[in-house]
Amino acid sequence: MGIPTGTEVVGLLRRRADALVAGDEPGFAATVADRSTGPGERQLAAYRAARSLRLARFTHGAVTTTPDPDRRSVRAEVEVRYRLDHLDTADRTTRVAYELVRSGGAWAVSAEGPVGTAPAPPWLAMPGLRVVRTPHAVVAGTVPESRLEEHAAVVDGALPALMTSWDGAPRTVLVLAPGTPTEAHTLLGRPAGAGDSGVAATTEGPTGPDGRATGDRIILDPTADARLTPAGRDVVLTHELVHVAVRGSVPGRAALWLAEGYADHVGYTRSDVPPERLLEPLLTEVRAGRGPRTLPTASALDPSTSDIEVPYLAAWQAVELLVQRHGEDAVRRLIVASSSTGTDAQAEAATDRALESELRTTRGDLTRDWRARLADLAG
């Protein structure tokens, strides 16, 4: 079989990356071992998907190779860095594995795929993706194109107001709409067999040295996307757009109850469902004497450890109370003043200090009044 030299591997991957960024499809195809096989076709589909997303930068780091004598191939794992044009302001990092074989007297790629727990590049997770572009949205996915257009319309309707409220918010947002749970898990860097997280959408992305996001993606859950009504999808996507706007504007993060409660506050303003109906799961707990007694912790809002429906509604109502008493501008100032690049505990402490400095209140006073509000709503 032989083993490729480091120079051969690096040269192959460099030619492939250069062709990918330059839009040189023949040059990229020349690095594919057999274009007639399923893995070969998938590589070419991934190339076209990357081009449709306007990949602007793609580089490889150090390569680790492992021979597989049984398959007469070599596995090369490598860290890659990439950016999408007009979406990323800094590199995103992930890991990709290439299966290399001898083809026509030279080494070529027989298959490729993401590895590890980093979110996968969209074109590798969804090589069959389609892209819809509008003034403020790039929506890519494997759901029907009509659904992609629906999501783009929500972004165009909600993002301009967020840009006005949050100086530094991105002007264009990438929304990923996978058609299967496997695609969603791959986009998020989760194991393929991971169960349903119960979260309708996730905003993820790296932050720069100043704590601001440098290229967030909103990843929609395919199960929820299919189950929700158009109005429900609007609320979910608007909620995530709030996170994108705040993360792109504020260096760090506030306490999770404030961040999630504020995103729900904005998202639910676009819903035509009466608040009492939305709050029914929470109010049922209050009437049964099981209502929350403290503001939701980060753990209570973590879908991997808790049933988050009631804590999220509780956080929403805490922010609703703050908005009603102090106004929208004051709550936005609170979020900025609460920002911390540290742990959950440090974010909570920063938020407590900001409640006093910005709103002249305390966690204790807020908790007391919030519990009274929930009791009144429960009747």
Residue 134 has what DSSP assignment?
-
Same domain, 265 and 303: yes
Task: Say yes or no: 112 and 147 in one domain.
Answer: no
Q: Of the candidates 198, 226, 249, which is a domain's last residue?
A: 249
Q: What pLDDT band is residue 5 in, cutting at 50, 70 and 90?
A: confident
333-379 per-position pLDDT tens digit: 999 999 999 999 999 999 999 999 999 999 999 999 999 999 999 98
pLDDT tens sequence across 254-272:
999 999 999 999 999 988 8
1 has pLDDT over 90: no
* pLDDT-above-90 percentage for the chain: 91
Q: Is residue 175 part of a domain?
A: yes
Question: Which of 40-49, 186-195, 242-251, 349-358 is least confident?
Answer: 186-195
Residues 31-50 have a mean pLDDT of 97
Q: Within this chain, do residues 64 and 151 fall inside the same structural domain, yes or no?
A: no
Query: Across all residues in the chain, what is the average pLDDT?
Result: 96
What's the pLDDT at 69?
79
- pLDDT band at 306, cuts 50/70/90? confident
What's the average model confidence in pLDDT over 71-83?
94
Q: Tell me which residue range forms the domain holding 341.
A: 252-379
User: What's the number of domains the chain is made of?
Assistant: 3
Q: Taking residues 118-141, report their average pLDDT.
A: 98
Q: Within 10 Å of residue 112's Cβ, how many Cβ atoms?
A: 20
Does any domain span residue 282? yes
The DSSP result for 173-240, as a single string, is EEEEE-SSHHHHHHHHT--TT----S-SEEEE--B-TTS-BSS-EEEE-HHHHHHS-HHHHHHHHHHH
If asked whether residues 61 and 138 sit together in one domain, one would say no
- Looking at per-residue pLDDT, the higher value among 71 and 6 belongs to 6
The pTM for the full model equals: 0.96
Structure confidence at residue 351 (pLDDT): 98
- Residue at a domain's end among 67, 88, 120: 120
Do residues 23 and 38 both lie within one domain?
Answer: yes
Q: What is the CATH number of the domain that holds 139?
A: 3.30.2010
Which residues on neighbouring strands pair with residue 207, listed in sequence order?
Answer: 213
101 and 115 belong to one structural domain: yes
Does 205 score more than 70 pLDDT? yes
Confidence band, pLDDT 50/70/90 cuts, at residue 292: very high
If asked whether residues 167 and 137 sit together in one domain, one would say yes
pLDDT in tens, 234-245: 999 999 999 999
Flag whether 288 is in a domain: yes
Whether residue 364 is found in the same domain as residue 345: yes
Do 178 and 235 lie in a common domain?
A: yes
Residues 264 and 379 in one domain: yes
Lowest mean pLDDT among 161-170, 195-204, 318-327: 195-204
In this structure, the answer to whether residues 112 and 161 fall within a common structural domain is no
CATH code of residue 65: 3.10.450.50
- Within this chain, do residues 245 and 260 fall inside the same structural domain, yes or no? no
- Evaluated on CA atoms 328, 331, 337, 340, the torsion sign reads negative
Token look-up 């795929």 returns 113
**Distance separating alpha carbons of residues 80 and 300, to the nearest angstrom:** 35
Whether 137 maps to a domain, the answer reads: yes
97 near 76, Cβ under 8 Å? Answer: yes
